[in-house]
Amino acid sequence: MRITAIANQKGGVGKTSTCVNLCAGLGLLGKKVLLVDMDPQANSTSGMGIERESLESSIYNLLIDNTTLAECTLSTAWKGVSIIPAVIDLAGAEVELVAAISRETRLKKALKDADSYHHIIIDCPPSLGLLTLNSLVAAESIIVPIQCEYYALEGLSQLMNTIELVRSHLNATLALDGLLLTMFDSRTRLSKEVAEEVRSRFGDKVYKNSIPRNVRISEAPSHGRPIQYYDADSPGSTAYNKFAKEALKRWQNKED
């Protein structure tokens, strides 16, 4: 079982799309995957086709009420993928966790019983609060999506500092898996310049495969489907499948 957090405190970088479509891609590669939606906006939940209004249990109950993992986990319609969904109540968990015992390790303890999965992918909120901290403490590694736009590196140093603090005090084994370039438009000089700058700064930590700006990726969540099931022949689907294979290869190389 490998636990990976997808995080960037900057919104609009393709973080949730990456979570949903990476999970779908891994499922299509024959892996058993659990998506953990730690974002109060619950976009991964709806993006997987789960109706939030009908939920009896969610990640909120797992963190705050000590509900069991099995009670909070749902199967999805997509091959190999299950989910612990989020609801808007999760926003209140930030406040409730402040006074809680072992507040930073709630998620880590809860996921100890999830050893039947090959991969657990955590969708972090676009902030550096207690929900993200729980995610980083539980994770072995982190993937950072970066959009190919002008403010691409804004706030990235703050995220890297947070990772170092977590390593120093709470999770010494947390590793940076890599940075994923998203919303890449090969027709514009700006996208190429941003990609070049990111690769020059982070070298082989940047995934070789990038995610193109593709309208089908944007449409898929409104239909409650990962891109691979919404439009399997689209450039977005092809890109996320290639990324899933690349991520899997990196993980396997680290384990060898």
Judge contact between 194 and 152, C-beta under 8 A: yes
Burial of residue 70 (number of CB atoms within 10 Å: 0-12, 13-18, 19+): exposed
pLDDT tens-digit readout, 159-209: 888 889 899 999 999 999 999 999 998 888 888 998 998 899 899 999 999
pLDDT band (50, 70, 90) for residue 256:
low
The Cα 121–Cα 123 span in angstroms is 7
SS3 5: strand
Residue 168, token pair as written in the block: 């120093």
pLDDT tens-digit readout, 196-251: 988 998 999 999 999 999 999 999 999 999 999 999 999 999 999 999 999 999 99
The Cα 256–Cα 248 span in angstroms is 12
Fold of the 2-255 domain:
Rossmann fold (3.40.50)
Closest CA to 232 of 216, 244, 211: 216
In this prediction, residues 99-123 reach a mean pLDDT of: 92
Provide the phi-psi class of 4: left if phi over 0, else alpha when psi is between -120 and 50, else beta: beta
Q: What average pLDDT does the structure give for the chain?
A: 92
Residue 239, token pair as written in the block: 């890109």
**How is 111-145 classified by DSSP, letter by letter?**
GGG-TT-SEEEEE--SS-SHHHHHHHHH-SEEEEE
- Phi and psi, residue 243, nearest 5°: -65, -40
- Phi and psi, residue 140, nearest 5°: -85, -30
**CB count in 10 Å sphere of residue 56:** 9
SS3 51: coil
Q: Which residue has the tokens 């997987």?
A: 48
**How is 171-206 classified by DSSP, letter by letter?**
-TT-EEEEEEEESB-TT-HHHHHHHHHHHHHHGGGB
Top pLDDT among 25 and 101 is at 25
